[in-house]
Structure 1
Amino acid sequence: MNTNKKTINVVWFKRDLRLQDNEAIFNAIRTNTPTLLLFVFEKSLENDSHYSARHWNFIKQSIVDLNLQLKQYNTKILAVSSEMLQVLNILEETYTIDTVFSHQETGLKITYERDKTFKRFCKNNQINWVQNINNGIFRGLKDRSNWVAGWENYMNEPLLDFNPKQGQFLSIDAITELENVLEKTNLETVADQVFQKGGTTMGGKYLKTFLDDRYHQYSYNISKPLLARKSCSRLSPYISWGNLSTRQVLQKTATFRLTCTDKKQIDSFVSRLTWQAHFIQKFEMEEIMEFESVNKGFHTLNKKPNENHIEAWKKGLTGFPLVDASMRCLNETGYLNFRMRAMLVSFFTHNLWQPWQEATQHLSQMFLDFEPGIHFPQLQMQAGETGINMLRIYNPIKNSYEHDPDGEFIKKWVPELANIPRAFIHEPYKMTYLDQKFSDFEIGITYPKPIVNMERTRKFASDFLWKMKKDPLVKAEGLRILKLHTMADIGDNSE
């Protein structure tokens, strides 16, 4: 037994994969106790059906990027595959752990339960656990009456510098010794140009190119599936995984706004960052949203899963070109603009009349920027099951004509439609027999027939949900939700 163990602190990285403006690191450095930087690829999370390899690869790329920055301090992040409690038990064989620093994670039930278990472990082992606020999301709020002011105050606080002294972190040699007794994670990833690459360095480049040029068309192209890929900031994965803090992005943007030539575009972008925080705070206060509708009045909505419909939707084989192009694009690249995401959920829950719970895991696996606090509130809002939001049943045909008029996005992602006449690109099922022959195309063979009747299913869903909105419990729950969450001073987030 080692009776002369060295005392250390641990910074437990989760969704805060950055050095600058990282309060956990900042607090650890101030103690002047040697600090171990740690990321645990928790096997329980890797096996959770909300995650996929694209997430873990993004995290690995982020850690590699951090290690390059940490090299000058003769340290690196200890990246291991295990569970947090197992790692700490092994660490305590060599070191005395004084304090673990981390942020409060607004995550899935599995991470919340893990944190509660970890808290008990720390108490039983006389380890301090200091958790800091993450991106202005506050735990334990009873209502949202002062949330906007608190969030804005947090966002206006000075950024926390990363300026350690030499020797404040465990050395690379010491970490190598720990890697020998733990299951070291292989951080190599396959070079892939399809997904956005993880890391603070890459996140900074996206922010720079957005403010340098791309922002000019932000609000004009935000709903267009092809053009949005360039005109939107594309910062969501870097914020979701913490390569950049929301505060860093907002303060950089605020400084840029002082001299920029198109303040309207910047204001639109900032508004969406505010709404992002709003939804995460909502999920923090209503964690049941992971499993059930936030409005209890909709718990009686008994939709029956149809496996054929679900599989066609997942694979982009519904017979509706914009729906299929959007899903295939998401499956392939991990990115889709907001309107097309909303349309996919609307089509699934309204036209296919499927429970939103059946969509959650596929979408979370595909979204490179999967953020639980955005994911579940948005699913329920687009499914029309909040009782407070405007019921929006997106028409994929109308959206196709409006936002992909020449069918460029459709042709890129549904290549079997690439050679049909432009007049039919949005509704290929309207082609006559001769039209199909001339185009070497056969509806139902080359490309699926529509799996549902669009007008009939839209009317059914609309009539059914509007009727439910009049239900006394739905109304009562709507009032409860409004009282708890509504903030009149941050405007509307509609497109």
Structure 2
Amino acid sequence: MSYNLVWFKRDLRVHDHAPLLHASRNGPVLCVFIIEPSLWAAADAATQHYLFLRESLLDLDIALRKRGGGLCIEIGEAVDVLDRLWHEAPFKTLYSYQETGNWLSFQRDLAVQRWCRSHGLKWHEFAQFGVVRRLQNRDLWKAHWEALMAEPCLDPPSCDWIAAPQPPILPDPQALGLIQPDPPQRQIGGRRQGIETLRDFLFDRCGAYRGGISSPLSAPTACSRLSPYLAFGCLSLREVVHATRRQLDVLPSNDVRRVGLTAFVSRLYWHCHFMQKLESEPELEFTNLHRGYDGLREADWNPAHFQALTSGQTGWPLVDACVAMLNQTGWLNFRMRAMIVSVASYPLWLHWQPVGTWLAQQFLDYEPGIHWSQMQMQAGTTGINTTRVYNPIKQARDHDPQGHFVRHWLPALRRVPKEWLFEPWRMPVKLQQQCGVIVGVDIAEPLVDLECATRQAKARLYQVRGRAEVKAAKAAIVEKHGSRKQLTRRRKTKVAAGDWVQTQLEF
């Protein structure tokens, strides 16, 4: 019997699912998810990603079985699995969403495309986000995003299903070579959890969004916390946009939640804006967006600095507290993420790629298109963004003035007097002895002099930025990647596109 194959990837839902709906209109449907060992062996994969995925797959299977179907779980490389399924029972068409993933998934999709052509099979790919394949420039990009978001959300289809085995068998992380610890306080996967999180945000927590997303104290509840559910496709971006706008339509004009939800919608737009950069420049995961910055940090790699950063031993309390929180939760708000990358890129002078790979493992909501664009923007290698340097001492005073966050995540500092909390290395030795916290023994001493190292790093960056050939290459990057919305706002001042975007990760 001829049938259609729906290949689920990072789109783990039945609601607002275009490939599933279109496949259902053209005959029987088999739903498949492929666990690909090569992707899970990649440097940016982590145990928490797989466990969140596994929870989401089980939730998806339940949703499919309620409708008479089910999810077939296959283990192997995508081309090998598709080829085996086709030889066992040839399918007539392959349906899936487009994916803007890492370099490995990009190469995988190219291989699947070649396989489909060699077998004379049609592969229908649908846009899941406001990302445009083979985009030449950004002139009409915003209009495309708005048009896609304005389309109605798709109801789950009624299908002539091909039966799947019951229940699906999913391997343990260790079988895929994943050995990282699972953060004990991470979010749980699945659409049902995503819907609950969305409702909680729209009807309650969004009131704190506008003023609460920068502080690590308030951000865990002020932020929407939807980012992992969007990254794994448990929720569609369009249904989140629709739900948010519906709530805006019914809220009174003086309701504080309106301010938060309006700001939130703008960040959903920037979500796709940054993903488009990786779609248009897949090498962004490995190479500088502006090649004039090649060689800026590569030759100066300092393994001791990297080890101190990843182990939370930089000596700057807010930075180390953020790393401790990441280890426990798999999440951190945008400003603190940006601060970590800034500290790594400037005073520690570390290249963004290894730091980005480590953070990709740490972030449960790792979305390659957003992640690598942000890594380069914060590191100053895009060529079109202003330099963003976050002073970890100032950030602590601004966003954790009483030291509650630092003391919570770094118990050793609970004995340090408040006036020394953010610079404990300045404590007199006698006071260190009195409170039982010896710098260099109980807590780390800063690796470098923050002010001096930052000043030297900025000078090195500006030296490259000032070169004539680097300036000349900037226009082409703006044409390909720059936000037209900002060019309209700032054309008179000739500010490079992208300079004002700071908070797109605060979901």
Shorter-normalised TM range = over 0.9
* Residue aligning to 1:280: 275
In structure 2, how many angstroms separate the alpha carbons of the residues matched to 1:149 and 1:468? 36
The 3-state SS of whatever aligns with 2:364 is coil
1:88, distance to aligned residue in structure 2 (A):
1.9
Pairing 1:170–2:162 present:
yes
Contact 1:65 1:201 in 2 (8 A): yes
* Residue aligning to 1:395: 391
Amino acid at match of 1:42: E
Pairing 1:493–2:501 present:
yes
TM-score (norm 2): 0.91
1:193, distance to aligned residue in structure 2 (A):
5.5
* Residue aligning to 1:423: 419
* Residue aligning to 1:3: none
Pairing 1:216–2:207 present:
yes
1:176, distance to aligned residue in structure 2 (A):
5.3
Contact 2:138 2:484 in 1 (8 A): no
Contact 1:253 1:266 in 2 (8 A): yes
Pairing 1:185–2:170 present:
yes
Runs (4 or more) in structure 1 with deviation over 3 Å come to 186-193
Pairing 1:247–2:238 present:
yes
Amino acid at match of 1:52: A
* Residue aligning to 1:34: 28
Question: CA offsets, 1:356-382, max 9 Å, x none?
Answer: 112121110111011110011100000
Unaligned runs of 5+ in 2: 175-180, 490-499
* Residue aligning to 2:463: 467
* Residue aligning to 2:402: 406
Aligned pair in 2 of structure 1 residues 444, 188: CA closer, same or farther (>3 Å)? closer
In structure 1, how many angstroms separate the alpha carbons of the residues matched to 2:195 and 2:387? 37
1:192, distance to aligned residue in structure 2 (A):
7.7
In structure 1, how many angstroms separate the alpha carbons of the residues matched to 2:11 and 2:78? 16
After TM superposition, list the pairs within 5 Å mapping 1:115-134 onto structure 2: 115-134=109-128
In structure 1, how many angstroms separate the alpha carbons of the residues matched to 2:408 and 2:339? 19
Contact 2:132 2:276 in 1 (8 A): yes
1:289, distance to aligned residue in structure 2 (A):
0.9
Determine which of 308, 318, 322 is the counterpart of 1:322.
318
Contact 1:12 1:38 in 2 (8 A): yes
Question: CA offsets, 1:105-148, max 9 Å, x none?
Answer: 11111111111111111111222211111212110011110000
1:440, distance to aligned residue in structure 2 (A):
1.0
Unaligned runs of 5+ in 1: 1-5
Amino acid at match of 1:26: L
In structure 1, how many angstroms separate the alpha carbons of the residues matched to 2:320 and 2:19? 43
Question: CA offsets, 1:409-443, max 9 Å, x none?
Answer: 11121111122111111111111122112211111
1:72, distance to aligned residue in structure 2 (A):
2.1
In structure 2, how many angstroms separate the alpha carbons of the residues matched to 1:72 and 1:222? 38
* Residue aligning to 2:142: 148
Contact 2:50 2:173 in 1 (8 A): no
Pairing 1:347–2:334 present:
no
* Residue aligning to 2:177: none
The 3-state SS of whatever aligns with 1:126 is coil
1:231, distance to aligned residue in structure 2 (A):
0.5
Pairing 1:68–2:76 present:
no
Q: CA RMSD in A?
A: 1.9
Amino acid at match of 2:325: C
1:229, distance to aligned residue in structure 2 (A):
0.4
* Residue aligning to 1:305: 301
Question: CA offsets, 1:3-47, max 9 Å, x none?
Answer: xxx21211111111111111111111111x211111111000010
Question: Is the deviation greater in 85-94 or in 123-132?
Answer: 85-94
Contact 1:99 1:130 in 2 (8 A): yes
* Residue aligning to 2:220: 229
Question: CA offsets, 1:241-275, max 9 Å, x none?
Answer: 11111111001000100122232211111111111
In structure 2, how many angstroms separate the alpha carbons of the residues matched to 1:148 and 1:225? 31
In structure 2, how many angstroms separate the alpha carbons of the residues matched to 1:318 and 1:287? 32
Contact 2:3 2:93 in 1 (8 A): yes
Pairing 1:88–2:82 present:
yes
Pairing 1:364–2:372 present:
no
TM-score (norm 1): 0.94
Amino acid at match of 2:247: F
Determine which of 183, 186, 190 is the counterpart of 1:195.
186
Question: CA offsets, 1:213-260, max 9 Å, x none?
Answer: 111111211110121001000000011111111111001000100122
Aligned pair in 2 of structure 1 residues 291, 268: CA closer, same or farther (>3 Å)? same
Amino acid at match of 2:347: N
Aligned pair in 2 of structure 1 residues 191, 106: CA closer, same or farther (>3 Å)? closer
Question: CA offsets, 1:434-471, max 9 Å, x none?
Answer: 21122111110000111111000111112221222211
Determine which of 431, 437, 444 is the counterpart of 2:440.
444
Contact 1:305 1:358 in 2 (8 A): no
Question: CA offsets, 1:370-399, max 9 Å, x none?
Answer: 111001110000001112111111100000
In structure 1, how many angstroms separate the alpha carbons of the residues matched to 2:157 and 2:36? 29
* Residue aligning to 1:105: 99
Amino acid at match of 1:278: H
Question: Is the deviation greater in 405-414 or in 365-374?
Answer: 405-414
Question: CA offsets, 1:283-307, max 9 Å, x none?
Answer: 1111121111101110131442111
Contact 2:20 2:157 in 1 (8 A): no
1:194, distance to aligned residue in structure 2 (A):
0.8
Question: Is the deviation greater in 376-385 or in 418-427?
Answer: 418-427
Aligned pair in 2 of structure 1 residues 430, 103: CA closer, same or farther (>3 Å)? same
In structure 2, how many angstroms separate the alpha carbons of the residues matched to 1:11 and 1:412? 46
In structure 1, how many angstroms separate the alpha carbons of the residues matched to 2:172 and 2:294? 43
In structure 2, how many angstroms separate the alpha carbons of the residues matched to 1:388 and 1:192? 36
